[in-house]
Homo-oligomer: A and B are copies of this chain.
């Protein structure tokens, strides 16, 4: 890990563009090889400039989680957006309608209330809104619970004024690709029986991206974290240290004891996400040390005994447990190539919660 120019005040989020570009290329080549359309999820970076690199490499469009993220990316000229979140409120569906005149939008629904709300908003639209039925293939979050429920909701969508049933979507459990194949094959067949078609089968997730071939029913894959990677993906063996594009640059501000160093990156920089791990990040320069606790502005780095450890003032690079929410904490990140600063880059879709 090269050393960043000393003018950047810490804590700061650094993005190694060389690594990010290599990750973009590798993922696109992987899905090109499978014959699956690839749709990067922008929630990881929230930066139009990086999404443009993803499209240039061959991605078919982008996925977003929130309407306000879609608004940011439409304003930047993005033309093919999948919004993977149930919408309900008339105000939000009015905003969605405004976007739909500026780009090709696809949305999801897993319940009749959402279908009815979308239909009310689009009933008099010249173009029907494309809707995917979200399916719970094992993750235990959103989604209809059975293939028959998927087909029933597809029927409601296809017959709702202003809407078009486009297919199915799932965010699978980790190692859930076989379950995706089983559920989606059955649901697709039932949807074709119910409404005559089922074009898109969208799956996603960086952790099991490498196993995407186990679910050949899938036509489109969404992934976000792969562009940066993080400690959770390192722990799963889904990437190596050399694939981690995002680091949090932090300064040692105190050395109260021989085994304790205090860093200026706390939960306001690293988040409290554990994702099943011990500790709050991998310290590149001291891999044997552990970030054992975070306050909002402090990390407590516990050092192995009988080793010198870092000096006060030393800058350390931390690979966070989870890259995506780190992006959401920063007004800007710093692009670099192997330590040479390229630019301070605004995180355009930071804080888009609605």
**Contacts from A to B (Cβ < 8 Å):** 7, 9-12, 43, 65-66, 85-86, 88-89, 91-92, 110-111, 113-114, 136, 140-145, 251, 253-257, 260, 262, 264, 267-269, 271-274, 293, 295-298, 300, 312-313, 324-325, 328-331, 351, 353-354
Contact = CB atoms under 8 A, between A and B. Distances in A.
A110 B254 contact: yes
B143 A85 contact: no
Contacts of A12: 354
Q: Quickly give the copy total for this chain.
A: 2
Contacts of A113: 312-313
Nearest to A273: B272
Contacts of A298: 141-142
B325 A351 contact: no
A78 to B, nearest CB: 19
A353 B330 contact: yes
Given A43-B296, A313-B113, A328-B329, A86 B253 contact: yes
Q: Is the interface of A mostly helix, strand, loop or mixed?
A: loop
A271 B353 CA distance: 12
B11 A312 contact: no
Contacts of A11: 353-354
A267 B43 CA distance: 13
23 contacts: A7-B91, A10-B354, A65-B296, A65-B297, A66-B297, A85-B264, A85-B297, A88-B312, A110-B256, A113-B313, A136-B256, A141-B293, A142-B298, A143-B254, A143-B256, A145-B257, A271-B271, A272-B272, A272-B274, A296-B324, A296-B325, A329-B351, A329-B353
Given A7-B91, A9-B89, A325-B267, A254 B142 contact: yes
Contact of A295 (B141, B251, B313, B328): B141
B328 A142 contact: no
A162 to B, nearest CB: 19
A262 B140 CA distance: 10
Contacts of A328: 268, 296, 329
